Amino acid sequence: EIVLTQSPGTLSLSPGERATLSCRAGPRISSSYLAWYQQKPGQPPRLLIYGTSNRATGIPDRFSGSESGTDFTLTISRLEPEDSAVYYCQQCGSSPFTFGPGTKVEIK
Amino acid sequence: EVQLLESGGGLVQPGGSLRLSCAASGFVFSSYVMTWVRQAPGKGLEWVAAISESGDSTYFADSVKGRLTISRDNSKNTLSLQMNSLRIEDTAVYFCAKGRGSGWYVPIDYWGQGTLVTVSS
């Protein structure tokens, strides 16, 4: 089973700041199979990024994804109040198609 | 517009059974892998099970293997999850979800609103 580890657990930033969220896979996975989701309280998750760096339909360009070695990164370039949510990474390359534990982003 | 509407959740005693359903519309149901994902109260997302487009192949999380069965009826655009030998730790909101694109190895692009299953005596 592929285990995804996300850091930090919680990120508290001000509007306009840059948020950097990390997801590490063990064992290593192909960049084709890493996705990011945003979930707000009481709502289902929403697909943000697939294939490491491809934005899903309707996702603002302040959201971007990248890879460096075994680490995957979700960057929110200029935080807005509505970005307050929990962000999950998921690998879809090998069953079970596991999720990371999530990073909570709080807007000050 | 893609819609996924779950039903069948409720309160069940440990050891009991429950059947969840998901009514799909707005896309060609038979062309996509479908998935169940759950979320325990206040916890993260847990991938549970997935079924191939035709229904002849399935995958399960180890935590539910042998107790939960996923199935689909492509003639009725319906996904199901039969849950047997339920445990307290199965308490969660269960989401029905659609794969983005064809094949197994795709992310989820649409989610239902979820149905709550509570296992308690």
Report residue B102's pLDDT band, with 50, 70 and 90 as the boundaries.
Answer: confident
Q: What is the pLDDT of residues B1-21, one digit of tens each?
A: 999 999 999 999 999 999 999
Q: What number is the average pLDDT over the span B25-31?
A: 97
The CA–CA distances, whole Å, from B70 to A10, A59, A95, B36, B91 equal 34, 31, 15, 8, 17
- The two tokens of residue B47 are 């991938």
Looking at the predicted structure, is the pLDDT value of residue B101 above 90? no
Q: What number is the average pLDDT over the span B108-113?
A: 98
Q: What is the pLDDT of residues A33-42, one digit of tens each?
A: 999 999 999 9
Q: Do A102 and B100 touch (CB under 8 A)?
A: no
Euclidean distance between CA atoms A94 and A1, whole angstroms: 8
- For residues A25, A27, A28 and A29, what is the CA-based torsion angle, rounded to 10 degrees? -80
Contacts of B22 (CB under 8 A, 6+ apart): B4, B5, B6, B7, B34, B78, B79, B80, B81, B96, B112
Looking at the predicted structure, is the pLDDT value of residue A68 above 90? no
Which position has the higher pLDDT, B21 or A68? B21
- pLDDT at residue A69 in the model: 78
Q: What number is the average pLDDT over the span B18-43?
A: 98
Q: Do A47 and B107 touch (CB under 8 A)?
A: yes
- pLDDT at residue A87 in the model: 98
Q: Which of B1, B46, B47, B116 should one mutate to test binding to chain A, selecting the residue with the greatest count of A CBs within 10 A?
A: B47
Euclidean distance between CA atoms A105 and A49, whole angstroms: 17
Q: What is the pLDDT of residues A11-67, one digit of tens each?
A: 999 999 999 999 999 899 999 999 999 999 999 999 999 999 999 999 999 999 999
Euclidean distance between CA atoms A79 and A95, whole angstroms: 34
- pLDDT at residue B61 in the model: 97
Please count the residue pairs, one from chain A and one from chain B, whose beta carbons lie less than 8 angstroms apart.
Answer: 62
Q: What number is the average pLDDT over the span B23-47?
A: 98
